[in-house]
Each structure stands twice: as C-alpha cells, then as structure tokens.
C-alpha cells in the first residue's frame, strides 16, 4: 500500500486479504496472551497508523478538487449575492412597516368603509363600457360625415373619455355625504384616528373645490351633448341628433352614478396602504428567485455537500485502516499477543465512536 494511495468506500475484502498476508518475523514466543509489556508499539502499527492519518488529508484534497468549479462560481457571484441580500433585508423592513400601517388603517377606518369588496372590478368594467359606447357613436358620425378615419377615431376617443371623466364629480358628491357621516370633533379623535384627520374633518374645507369641479364637469357634459347632437343632425337629421345627444348625456350621467357608487375615501386609504405593503413584498420575492441567488446558494450547498461527503469517507478510511492494523496484529499473536494487558487502553483517536463525534462537531460548526 503506497503512501499516496487512498482507501475507497468498499475495499474491506481487499484490505483484509492484504493484511492477512502481512507477517511479523518471530523473535520469541509470546509468554502470555496479553501483549508484552516491554513492547509499546511495533513499527507495523506506527506505519499503518500514519497511513490512516494520511487518509483524511487525501480525501480533503479530493474534495477541494471536486468542488473547485462550484467554489469559483459562488465566489464570482458573492458580491451580487451580498447586494441582493442587503436589499432584501431593507425590503423586509419596509414591508413590515407598511404592513403595520395597513393593519392600523384597517383597524381604524374599517368600520367606516362602505365599498363592497368586488366594487373595483365593476367600476372599471362600467367605466370602459361607457367610454367605448360614446366613442363608437362619435366615430360613426364622423366617418359618415367623410372625416379621415384616424382623425375621426382619435377625436371620438377623446370625446368618449371626456364624457365619462365628467361623471367623476359623482365621487366627490359621495365623499361629501360620507364626510358628513364621519364628521367628528378633533378633540374626540383617538391617536390612531388623528393620523387620518382628513377623513373625519367634515366638508367645510372641501366645498369650494367641489363647486368648481361641478361647474367644470357640467360644462363638459353640455359641450359633449351639443357637439354630438349637431354632428348627428348634420349627418342623419334632427331626430337622430337628439337621440345621440341624449345618449351622450346619459353616458355622462351613468358615469356620475358609477363614480358615486365606487367612491369611498376610507376604503381608498386602506387599499393604498395594502398596495404599499404588497409592493416591497413582491419585489422581495422577485429578488429571492433571482438567478444570482439561486446559482450562488446552489453552488455553496453543493460544495459543502462534497466537502462533507469526502470528510466522511476520509474518516471512514482512517478508521478502517486502524481496523486493518488490529487485524494484522491479531494474525500474529506469537509476537504481540492477543490484546493489550489489563488496565491498558487503545491509543487515542483510534476508536470509531470518538472519530465520529469529532467529525459531527466539525460539520456542525460549518
């Protein structure tokens, strides 16, 4: 067995045959079953002991070679992994802060929310349908009048959006009604409610702005209605003009009702708080699945697994060589006896249980 060879996983039979062929020249017959007290260790024991101590080093070297690719790749990704880790930690703190704010808003404003859970979907679908209907009516009249298609469609889209946007005043009207219901004396507000003072402040401060908005929206409705009436009257006659003008006004009024039914300032605050909490969480999840993180962590785990495997194999080989040593000695009782004398102990670091305990401690500390 050469000094640079390593014991592989299952060489037991071969090693036992090799040990069985090793002999020690007899000098004198052992006087007793116990090993002679004048003999500490034989050269054979020391040689096999050194070969045993060589095994972990050989297997460690093989582990270094086997995991070199993973170690190099993980090292090249280390800086990016640290940056993503630092950003993820910041996002986690931001998410926790935003989530606390959401829970506070929900607890404080939840009793004042009037909006239904699925109202947003209905609001968006209704808004899009109203805009599309008004757009088609204007586009059809413009095309019949002989307008260029791209001009007719562009103007129709703008007109349709103007009609449904004018109905947004319905949301402000709803907010006024809800503010009246929620109006509270500032001195009676709790600490959490003071964070949302505007929700409980009443309507005095908002009335001038609401009046101005109402005037603007009413003007838009009148202009859109008159414009469509005149356009349709020119193309299809007065009756058609009145019909489509009335439909345009009805679209604006329907938009008013749609905005009125959806408006809820307290619900908006809670929904926005939830979005602020969800944004860093989604970004954190996206960063966690980034290729840099996956490749770096995968390479680190692979290299550690290779190290652990080779260390276990190295320690197993060392233990096995110690067993080979004692097998060799047992084959030569005439020189070394059948075992140590009473009260003697095996040399240190030679029992499998002790080796395994040391190995578990090393792996656990990594």
Three-state SS sequence of the chain: CCCCCCCCCCCHHHHHHHHHCCCCCCCCCCCCCECCCCCCCCHHHHHHHHHHHHHHHHHHHHHHHHCHHHHHHHHHCHHHHHHHHHHHHHHHHHHHHHHHHHHHHHHHHHHHCCCCCCHHHHHHHHHHHHHHHHHHHHHHHHHHCCCCHHHHHHHHHHHHHHHHHHCCHHHHHHHHHHHHHHCCCHHHCCHHHHCCHHHHCCCCCCHHHHHHHHHHHHHHHHHHHHHHHHHHHHHHCHHHHHHHHHHHHHHHHHHHHHHHHHCCHHHHHHHHHHHHHHHHHHHHHHHHCCHHHHHHHHHHHHHHHHHHHHHHHHHHHHHHHHHHHHHHHHCCHHHHCCECCCCCCCCCCCCHHHHHHHHHHHHHCC
Q: Is the pLDDT of residue 53 over 70?
A: yes
> What tokens were used for 152?
């007719």
Length, in residues, of the chain: 366
Percent of the chain with pLDDT over 90: 5
Q: Is the pLDDT of residue 264 over 60?
A: yes
Residue 350: the pLDDT is 46
Q: Is the pLDDT of residue 2 over 70?
A: no
* Angle at 55 (CA atoms; ends 54, 61), nearest 5 degrees: 95
Lowest mean pLDDT among 108-112, 118-122, 153-157, 210-214: 210-214
Torsion angle of the four alpha carbons 348, 350, 353, 355, in this order, in degrees rounded to the nearest 10: 90
Domain range list for the chain = 12-75+292-364, 116-263
Matching residue, tokens 């859970």? 117
pLDDT tens digit string along 218-248?
888 788 878 777 877 777 777 777 887 788 8
Confidence of residue 100 (pLDDT cuts 50, 70, 90): very high
End-to-end C-alpha distance for the chain, whole angstroms:
33
Q: What is the mean pLDDT of residues 83-97?
A: 88
Q: What is the mean pLDDT of the chain?
A: 78
Cβ pair 326, 340 in contact under 8 A: no
Q: What is the mean pLDDT of residues 76-102?
A: 87
Residue 21: the pLDDT is 59
> What's the pTM value of the predicted model, to 2 decimals?
0.61
Q: What is the mean pLDDT of residues 23-33?
A: 51
């Amino acid at each position: 067995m050469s000094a640079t060879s390593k014991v592989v996983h299952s060489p037991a039979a071969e090693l036992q045959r090799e040990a069985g062929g090793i002999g020690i020249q007899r000098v004198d017959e052992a006087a007793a079953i116990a090993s002679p007290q004048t003999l500490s260790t034989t050269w054979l024991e020391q040689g096999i002991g050194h070969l045993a101590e060589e095994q972990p080093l050989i297997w460690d070297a093989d582990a270094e070679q086997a995991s070199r690719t993973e170690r190099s790749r993980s090292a090249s990704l280390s800086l990016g992994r640290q940056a993503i880790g630092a950003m993820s930690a910041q996002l986690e703190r931001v998410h926790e802060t935003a989530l606390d704010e959401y829970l506070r808003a929900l607890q404080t404003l939840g009793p004042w929310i009037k909006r239904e859970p699925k109202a947003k979907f209905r609001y968006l679908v209704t808004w899009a349908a109203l805009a599309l209907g008004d757009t088609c009516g204007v586009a059809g009249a413009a095309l019949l009048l002989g307008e260029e298609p791209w001009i007719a469609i562009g103007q129709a889209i703008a007109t349709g959006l103007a009609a449904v946007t004018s109905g947004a005043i319905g949301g402000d009207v709803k907010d006024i009604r809800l503010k009246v219901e929620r109006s509270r004396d500032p001195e009676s507000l709790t600490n959490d409610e003071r964070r949302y003072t505007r929700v409980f402040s009443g309507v005095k401060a908002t009335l001038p702005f609401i009046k101005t908005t109402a005037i603007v929206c009413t003007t838009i409705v009148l202009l859109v209605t008159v414009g469509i009436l005149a356009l349709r009257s020119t193309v299809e006659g007065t009756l058609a003009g009145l019909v489509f003008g009335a439909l345009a006004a009805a679209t604006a009024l329907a938009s008013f009702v749609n905005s009125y039914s959806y408006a809820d300032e307290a619900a908006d605050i809670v929904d926005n708080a939830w979005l602020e909490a969800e944004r860093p969480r989604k970004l954190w999840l996206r960063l966690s699945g980034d290729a840099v993180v996956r490749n770096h962590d995968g390479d680190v785990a692979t290299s550690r697994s290779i190290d652990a495997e080779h260390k276990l194999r190295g320690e197993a080989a060392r233990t096995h060589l110690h067993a080979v040593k004692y097998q060799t000695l047992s084959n030569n009782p005439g020189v070394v006896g059948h075992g140590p004398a009473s009260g003697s102990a095996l040399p240190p670091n030679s029992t499998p249980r002790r080796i395994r305990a040391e190995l578990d401690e090393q792996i656990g500390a990594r």
